[in-house]
């Protein structure tokens, strides 16, 4: 069994390409199509694998796209376990407009899962032996899956001694926190559901994050704030705001997954929380500096990390 298991309930085959311009009501001629495995936990597992880490991607997928997703992961030699469902796995689309450099990202809802299917997913993730050190619950929930699905998964994993890292949004976020997790990483927009305006100052964010820690919703709360880096509050008393070096943003796609992948990888292999946090910020900055849907390179992360220490 891997030290890290990621669970992706709503994976995708990510399609990307370029077009000179996107024009309303007219055909848009695109360049060469790129097809890649996608979805929060799959991206995290792939990122950890790229760093030489030990992670297994567990995901629910079906139909022709589900078969293609499995093949794409096999080609990248990412450890995986597919839970077969009846519905066809979604395709998402990212198009870069060459005339402006803007990236247009189209994300679809995904197939509807039956109760038998999502319960089978819970049984699978809760039945791993030996018990993994970390379980990453990442990405959206597809139609048919109850809002408290991650809460069930988090509670069962915690009872078995696994550290749960949660990176989700929308209605699934709050129930999972009420179940208790080791670490949660919302972005500024996602954190807004806890009553903190997106334009609030950092002290307001840190105070709200401290309340979550005090209420035992999470041992560690990290909020990413875009180009301004990320904030961290922990039960151990950490209260930090770290920024990446100035960079030229190329594509925001994959920044959050890169952050979680590298953070989890560092924690699993013995780094301190603060060091892992700094590496996560460096990874997000490296991903933003990379075109397309690629997450990062290890060299780019190390360069960003060293710049943060200067």
Question: What are the residue boundaries of the structural domains of the chain, listed by start?
Answer: 4-309
Helix residue spans in 3-134 (DSSP H):
40-50, 63-75, 115-126
For residue 269, count other CB atoms closer than 10 A to its CB. Answer: 16
Mean pLDDT score, 111-140: 95
CA distance 257 to 293: 11
pLDDT at 19: 94
Is 215 one of the annotated active-site residues of the chain? no
pLDDT at 219: 97
Q: Return phi, psi of residue 23, to 5°.
A: -120, 135
Q: Rounded to an integer, what is the distance from CA 228 to the centroid of its chain?
A: 19
Q: Given pLDDT bands bounded at 50, 70 and 90, which one contains residue 227?
A: confident
pLDDT of 65 over the 80 cut: yes
- Encoding tokens for residue 222? 């990290």
pLDDT at 291: 55
Rounded to a whole number of angstroms, the distance between the first and last alpha carbons of the chain is 39
CA distance 255 to 289: 9
CA distance 38 to 92: 8
Span 151-176, pLDDT tens digits: 999 999 999 999 999 999 888 899 99
Q: Return phi, psi of residue 84, to 5°.
A: -75, 130
Q: Judge if the upstream peptide bond of residue 267 is cis by omega within 30 degrees of 0.
A: no
Span 203-221, pLDDT tens digits: 999 999 999 999 999 999 9
Q: Given pLDDT bands bounded at 50, 70 and 90, which one contains residue 308?
A: confident
Mean per-residue pLDDT of the chain: 91
pLDDT of 292 over the 60 cut: no
Looking at the chain, which runs of residues are DSSP E strands? 4-8, 12-19, 34-38, 55-61, 80-84, 90-97, 103-106, 134-138, 163-167, 181-184, 218-224, 230-234, 239-242
Q: Given pLDDT bands bounded at 50, 70 and 90, which one contains residue 304?
A: confident
Catalytic residue among 54, 215, 257, 299: 257
CA distance 136 to 184: 10
Q: Return phi, psi of residue 113, to 5°.
A: -95, 140
pLDDT at 244: 86
pLDDT at 276: 96
Q: Given pLDDT bands bounded at 50, 70 and 90, which one contains residue 18?
A: very high
- Encoding tokens for residue 172? 């699934």
CA distance 297 to 310: 21
Q: Return the CATH class of domain 4-309.
A: alpha beta
Span 28-53, pLDDT tens digits: 999 889 999 999 999 999 999 999 99
CB of 83 within 8 A of CB of 9? no
pLDDT at 303: 83
Span 238-271, pLDDT tens digits: 999 998 877 665 555 678 899 999 999 999 999 9
């Amino acid at each position: 069994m891997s030290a890290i298991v990621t669970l992706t309930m709503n994976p995708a085959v990510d399609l990307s390409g370029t077009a000179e311009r996107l024009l309303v009501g007219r055909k848009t001629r695109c360049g060469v199509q790129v097809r890649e495995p996608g979805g929060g936990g799959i991206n995290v597992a792939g990122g950890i694998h790229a760093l030489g880490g030990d992670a297994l991607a567990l995901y629910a997928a079906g139909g022709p796209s589900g078969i293609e997703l499995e093949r794409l992961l096999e080609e990248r030699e990412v450890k995986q376990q597919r839970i077969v469902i009846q519905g066809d796995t979604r395709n998402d689309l990212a198009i870069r407009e060459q005339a402006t450099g803007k990236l247009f990202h189209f994300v679809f809802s995904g197939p509807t899962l039956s109760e038998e299917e999502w319960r089978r997913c819970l049984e699978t993730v809760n039945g791993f032996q030996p018990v993994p050190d970390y379980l990453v619950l990442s990405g959206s929930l597809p139609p048919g899956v109850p809002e408290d699905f991650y809460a069930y998964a988090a509670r069962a994993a915690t009872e078995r001694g696994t550290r749960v890292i949660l990176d989700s949004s929308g209605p699934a976020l709050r129930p999972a926190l009420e179940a208790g997790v080791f670490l949660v990483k919302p972005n500024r927009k996602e954190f807004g559901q806890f009553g903190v305006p997106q334009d609030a100052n950092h002290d307001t964010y840190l105070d709200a994050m401290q309340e979550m820690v005090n209420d035992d919703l999470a041992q560690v709360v990290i909020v990413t704030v875009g180009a301004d880096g990320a904030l961290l509050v922990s039960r151990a008393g950490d209260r930090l705001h770290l920024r990446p070096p100035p960079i030229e943003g190329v594509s925001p796609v994959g920044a959050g997954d890169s952050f979680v992948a590298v953070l989890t990888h560092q924690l699993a292999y013995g780094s301190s929380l603060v060091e892992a946090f700094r590496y996560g910020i460096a990874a997000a900055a490296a991903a933003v500096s990379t075109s397309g849907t690629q997450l990062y390179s290890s060299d780019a992360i190390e360069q960003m990390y060293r710049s943060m220490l200067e």
